[in-house]
Amino acid sequence: MTAELVTLSVEDIRGGVEPILRRLATGAAERDRTRTYAFEDVRALAEQRITLTGISARDGGAGGRLRDVFDLIIAIGRADSNVAQALRSSFLTANQVASRPDLPHRATTLHRLRAGDLFAGTGNERSGGASGSVHTTIRREENGYLVNGEKYYSTGGLYANWFSGTATDEDGTLLSFTVPVDRAGVQRLDDFDAVGQRLTASGTTRLVNVRVGADEVTVRDTSRLDSPWLGSFAQLYLAAIEAGIAAAALDDAVVFARERARPIKHSTAATSVQDPYVRETVGRIAVHAHAARSVVLLAAEELQAVREKQGPAAREAGARAAVTVAQTGVTAIESALHAAELLFDVGGGSATGRDLGFDRHWRNARTVANHNPRQWKAAVAGAYHLTAEEPPTTGLF
């Protein structure tokens, strides 16, 4: 995309995406069943400059707070959680621009975001060795670098304009690089095959003698940051997807009860919407959706507060926010799983029809939940409350 100048507000973006989200929601079950990517609608979302939400107006963004960012993410997840997750790297990139004035290549990245470009990126590999180890190599050559390796969980890779990854140089130093996805040697594979979230384009990115310029490489060094919990935004993003899934389960429950469900034979109700047990079930789904959304937006406000502090105060606030995000993750995961299960109690055998695709909500929620085990989240929160032990700075809190 070209970097045409845009002047947008949060309200402009939300208004522009509403019809796109309605289309996404309408076709979500069919796309899941047929493994069809939403290329046109994702491109349409990008053209609305969704990632400018939360970036200050003085930087050419749409303004707004993290609450606005996560409210938008939940809305996208409600329409199609696959699309929300495919956009995760793009929103993570935008959050770095919004929160770090010292971000390397910040002006370049901001220019790309203003152009409506999308990003994919991962440091994950399936090459064996300890978890988090990087076998992708980056070697100096006369006019820059040469990268070789293979990355997995390249979320959003088929939708993206840019791919970011990590590699080790000759000295063992870990470097980050960002290249256009059409650079020679960048191969994007559609080989992600989980039980859910099948259309997040999270498969392999193969890098074969990819030439990388010196201005496309940075040293990964975050040791001097006041708050080292850089993963909190990324983890809250996953919780927002779960909140979107819970809301989608509620939407399907309401439509099914109103339009297709019939009262069970011994019910005293004339219609399903009058059946007290259907009402109670839909109410419980609504409770789970409300809980997930509420905790995500509350955690977003706490993350926002971290940005407004410096030094020891920022570290203290960052640790507290990381724990809040961990607790939010547990609540959102369990809310989405319960909501997705209860959806089947709204109707009888007809609710299990494959044409409805209701099972995708549980499969999607379960797959998102497996990214980072909620047992760890709960245990870390417990340690913090009991002994004031800080969360790990692995990026998963």
**For the segment 277-332, what is each residue's pLDDT rounded down to a tens digit?**
999 999 999 999 999 999 999 999 999 999 989 999 999 999 999 999 999 999 99
Indicate the residue among 219, 245, 263 that finishes a domain.
219
Q: Are residues 60 and 153 in the same domain?
A: no
CA distance 202 to 206: 13
Q: Are residues 273 and 191 in the same domain?
A: no
Q: Are residues 239 and 213 in the same domain?
A: no
**Which CA distances in Å does 254 have to 190, 200, 249, 283, 393?**
34, 26, 9, 10, 41
Write out the H or E segment, with its range, that includes residue 162: strand 162-168
Domain count across the chain: 3
The pLDDT value recorded for residue 273 is: 93
Q: Are residues 146 and 108 in the same domain?
A: no
The pLDDT value recorded for residue 128 is: 63
Nearest alpha-carbon partner for 77 in 295, 244, 242: 244
Q: Which long-range contacts (CB under 8 A, 24 or more apart) does 369-376 make?
A: 369/242, 369/333, 369/336, 369/337, 371/238, 372/235, 372/238, 372/329, 372/396, 374/329, 374/330, 374/333, 374/334
The pLDDT value recorded for residue 393 is: 93
Q: Are residues 150 and 200 in the same domain?
A: yes
209 contacts 185 by C-beta, under 8 angstroms: yes
CATH code where residue 240 lies = 1.20.140.10
Give every CB contact of residue 354 below 8 A, 6+ residues apart in sequence: 33
Q: Are residues 242 and 204 in the same domain?
A: no
* Cβ atoms within 10 Å of 393's Cβ, excluding its own: 18
Q: Strands 119-122 and 137-141, how do they pair?
A: unpaired
Q: Are residues 199 and 176 in the same domain?
A: yes
Q: Are residues 215 and 236 in the same domain?
A: no
Residue 131 located in a structural domain: no
Kindly report, residue by residue over 146-202, the tens digit of the pLDDT. 999 999 999 999 999 999 999 999 999 999 999 999 999 999 999 999 999 999 999
Residue 286 located in a structural domain: yes
* Residues forming a β-bridge with 144: 141
What is the secondary structure of 69-91 as a DSSP string?
A: HHHHHHHHHHH-HHHHHHTHHHH
Residue 49 located in a structural domain: yes
Write out the H or E segment, with its range, that includes residue 145: strand 144-151
Q: Are residues 143 and 56 in the same domain?
A: no
Amino acid making up residue 43: R
The pLDDT value recorded for residue 126 is: 87
Residue 123 located in a structural domain: no
157 contacts 181 by C-beta, under 8 angstroms: yes
Mean pLDDT of the chain: 94
CA distance 218 to 151: 18
Indicate the residue among 186, 219, 252 that finishes a domain.
219
User: Could you tell me the residue range of the domain that residue 158 belongs to?
Assistant: 137-219
Q: Are residues 88 and 162 in the same domain?
A: no
Q: Are residues 272 and 368 in the same domain?
A: yes
CA distance 369 to 237: 12
Q: Are residues 236 and 215 in the same domain?
A: no
Residue 222 has pLDDT above 80, yes or no: no
